Amino acid sequence: MEHDDCKNNIVHRLSGLRIDMDEEELTAQETALYDRQIRVWGVDAQKRLSRAHVLISGLSGATAELCKNIVLAGVGSLTLVDPRPVTEDACNANFLILPENINGGRSLADVCCESLKDFNPMVRVSAEKGDLMQSDGEFFNKFDVVVISCCSSKAKKLINEKCRKRSRRMAFYTVECRDSCGEIFVDLQNYTYMQKSSDDTAECQLDFPSLEEAISIPWMDLPRKVSKLFFAMRVLDMFESSKERNPGETSISDLPEILKLREEMCNAQSVKDYDSLVPQSLLERLLAAGTKEHPPVCAILGGILGQEVIKAISGKGGPLKNFFYFDAADGKGVIEDISKPHAG
């Protein structure tokens, strides 16, 4: 079963998350249910999963897919936060919502929690009330993984900083799906692992910047050919922040202002050719989509992010560093390392 490790030649000695392990064996029920995945990542990884606590804030099509994936995988507990009411739109890409839940007066977190409990009785799923922005840092102490979606860039940065200040290291992720495009951000702080080459084993360390640090890197210092989506998302973030809107609360009528903002941002970054860095056509697409998510893209984002969460918990497999983009228009799923200024 360990041949997968040999294949990727990576063995993690100190996984980013220190999840307590005891000697307890998996039950026969767990062994039977998780058989096919234990063959992929091994018994130890499965035990770590069953002791991990995951917080997901913001329930969208993409995070619903993520929830499904990690509940099926068998994490210890999943806590959901999303006080928004269940609207018809919410049901577009989120299969956890049944038609009878629409306008039923319950929160998205409650409705999704109820659905998810059914997926795997061995996972504790709960819904938490309240606003993460207001919650003190203590609240985050009980989690190994925090995933934030459906909120402003400002809120994401704030929560990211709160998590970083905890004494216990946790994995932090954000994800947004805008129509047929998606973005994932990963912050594992400093992640140490052993990389095995043909005859030698070397200790490797990855340093992840915070969200704030990553998006503050001057554009001119970034590697060439960074996905245009990275820049387009920053323009939209900036626009939405200035209007105090949530992601996707835009329409095509915002285009003139967005284009103006693009120009300003590009000027500030000393970028001359605005349209080749942030094409207007791409902005139009993202604006027109509004908060709509394309369901198959949610499946892809939820799949990629789910795998990253499982990797961080199990300490198996080199992590994605530190942005992921998918665009159904060209079909590419690309990793961008946006961590420090590139020399020269």
Partner 1 sequence: MDTIEVSNLNRQFLFRQHHVGQSKAKVARDAVLRFRPHINITPYHSNVKDPQFNVDFFKQFNVVLNGLDNLDARRHVNRLCLAAEVPLVESGTTGFLGQVTVHVKGKTECYECQPKPTPKTYPVCTITSTPSKFVHCIVWAKDLLFAKLFGDKNQDNDLNVHSGDGNSQSEHAQDVFVRNPHEDLEQYGRRIYDHVFGYNIEVALTNEETWKNRQRPRPVYINDLLPDKLVHRNGYSEDCKTEDLTPSAMSSLNLKNPQDVWSLAENSRIFLESLRLFFEKREKDIGCLTFDKDDQLAVEFVTAAANIRASSFGIPLHSLFEAKGIAGNIVHAVATTNAIIAGLIVIEAIKVLQNDFENYRMTYCLEHPSRKMLLMPVQPFEANKSCYVCSETPLLLEVNTNTAKLRDVVERIVKAKLGMNLPMVMVGSTLVFEDGDDLDKDLAANYALNLDKVLSGLPAPVRSGTVLCLEDLQQELVCNINIKHREEFDEEKEPDGMVLSGWTTPSEKGKEVAVSNGETKAVASVSSSEADGDEVETTPAVPSKKRKMPKPERSETATENDDKPQTRPSRNLSDKKSLQEIKDNDDDDDIIVLDDNPETSKRKRIH
> Given the rule CB under 8 A, which residues bind partner 1?
1, 3-4, 7-8, 25, 31-41, 43, 65, 68-69, 72-74, 91, 95, 97-99, 118-121, 179-180, 225, 279, 281-282, 285, 288-289, 294-300, 302-304, 306-307, 310, 317-318, 320, 324, 326, 328-336
Between residues 90 and 132, which has the closer beta carbon with respect to partner 1? 90
Between residues 259 and 288, which has the closer beta carbon with respect to partner 1? 288
Q: Which residues pair with 191 in a beta bridge?
A: 206
Between residues 43 and 255, which has the closer beta carbon with respect to partner 1? 43
**Residues near 136 by beta carbon (within 8 Å), at least 6 away in sequence:** none
Between residues 260 and 332, which has the closer beta carbon with respect to partner 1? 332
Q: What's the min distance (Å) between Cβ of 284 and partner 1? A: 9
Q: Which amino acid is at 127?
A: A
Q: What's the min distance (Å) between Cβ of 304 and partner 1? A: 7
Between residues 39 and 129, which has the closer beta carbon with respect to partner 1? 39
Between residues 70 and 265, which has the closer beta carbon with respect to partner 1? 70
Q: How far apart are CA 30 and CA 34, in angstroms?
A: 6
The CA–CA distances, whole Å, from 70 to 49, 65, 238, 258, 313 equal 9, 9, 31, 37, 11
Element (H, E) at 242: helix 228-242
Could you tell me which of 266, 267, 67, 60 has the C-alpha nearest to residue 183? 60
For residues 309 and 265, the answer to whether their CB atoms sit within 8 Å is no
Could you tell me which of 161, 152, 151 has the C-alpha nearest to residue 56? 151
- Based on the number of CB atoms within 10 Å of its own CB, is 138 exposed (0-12), middle (13-18) or buried (19 or more)? exposed
Q: What's the min distance (Å) between Cβ of 44 and partner 1? A: 10
Q: What's the min distance (Å) between Cβ of 286 and partner 1? A: 10
Q: What's the min distance (Å) between Cβ of 136 and partner 1? A: 33
Between residues 62 and 151, which has the closer beta carbon with respect to partner 1? 62
Length of the chain: 344
Between residues 104 and 130, which has the closer beta carbon with respect to partner 1? 104
For residues 177 and 61, the answer to whether their CB atoms sit within 8 Å is yes
Q: DSSP string covering 319-336, please?
A: PP-SEEEEETTTTEEEEE
Sheet of strand 201-207, all strands in order from the earlier edge strand to the far edge: 10-11, 190-196, 201-207
Cα 75 from chain centre: 16
Q: What's the min distance (Å) between Cβ of 289 and partner 1? A: 6
Q: What's the min distance (Å) between Cβ of 105 and partner 1? A: 19
For residues 46 and 69, the answer to whether their CB atoms sit within 8 Å is no
Q: What's the min distance (Å) between Cβ of 80 and partner 1? A: 17
Q: What's the min distance (Å) between Cβ of 181 and partner 1? A: 9
Element (H, E) at 61: helix 61-73
Between residues 65 and 144, which has the closer beta carbon with respect to partner 1? 65
- Based on the number of CB atoms within 10 Å of its own CB, is 76 exposed (0-12), middle (13-18) or buried (19 or more)? middle
